[in-house]
A and B are shown apart, each in its own frame.
Chain A
């Protein structure tokens, strides 16, 4: 999976659920946050970083 694929997958998951995310001093709608992820902004990269960490933890827990 390329970095671009990972961004698309995470962005799609955010859009699908539709939750609003209050991050730092700003509230992001699902669409806004998905765009941040796709654009690779600082906020978007933070979400990707958390997704990678979460995936590793989930995988470790299953082993």
Chain B
């Protein structure tokens, strides 16, 4: 719940600002049918899985439902995957790499988040670290996105060491569990997302110009008639 309502909207906003088309499979949409449908229709370049996890699966909101597990790792062939879920770095992420994923970011131990007791807002640093791999949308290589995330963890650990060492220690545990699998050289090719962005911009510009042209066509005979 913290991940889906307090953390991931930031990633969606980041990607959207960079003109990526984002499909958000939230709550009841977080299931294998929706996932495979989206993969077939849109062919995503980067996939974020943010939920509860185990060594071999990312779990959906329904009891017994999995979104990704060892049976569907081949769906992630050719994609960069960021998994914000406990323990998935132990079996699921390596299995995705074996099935052809370009790079997978995942946690090999428990993913722990500290939140404000009243608002449930993540404490400073937790959201920033979990969302840091979003720099992938800027065309950054996977290994550089990983390094940037570790640097972000270290920055917040240092800050929390002065205020509350227990919180710093939890961030340390998250940092030490955060791993990158696959080739670090992979990145989202700039031309791919520029094309997608330009396509959107072109469609909007075309519709606006077409609307103006139709208005002129409609008004011109009336002006001439006067």
Q: Whole-angstrom distance between the alpha carbons of A46 and B123 in the complex?
A: 20
Range class of the B interface residue count = 20 to 34
A19–B172 touching, CB < 8 Å: no
Most buried by A among B123, B161, B168, B173: B173
Q: Is B210 an interface residue (CB 8 A)?
A: no
Q: Is B52 an interface residue (CB 8 A)?
A: yes
Which B residue sits closest to A57, measured CB to CB?
A: B172
Q: Which of A14-58 contact B (CB under 8 A)?
A: 14, 17-25, 27, 29-30, 46-47, 50-51, 53-55, 57-58
Q: Is B199 an interface residue (CB 8 A)?
A: no
A13–B164 touching, CB < 8 Å: yes
Q: Enumerate chain B residues within 8 angstroms of A55, measured Cβ to Cβ.
A: 165, 169
- In whole Å, how far is B195's beta carbon from the nearest beta carbon of chain A? 39
Q: Which of B109-150 contact A (CB under 8 A)?
A: 110, 112-117, 120, 123
Q: Is B2 an interface residue (CB 8 A)?
A: yes
Q: Enumerate chain A residues within 8 angstroms of B110, measured Cβ to Cβ.
A: 23-24, 46
Q: Which of B138-183 contact A (CB under 8 A)?
A: 161, 164-170, 172-173, 176
Q: Whole-angstrom distance between the alpha carbons of A53 and B123 in the complex?
A: 21
A50–B164 touching, CB < 8 Å: no
Q: Whole-angstrom distance between the alpha carbons of A18 and B117 in the complex?
A: 7
Measured CB to CB, the residues of B under 8 A from A are: 2, 52, 86, 110, 112-117, 120, 123, 161, 164-170, 172-173, 176
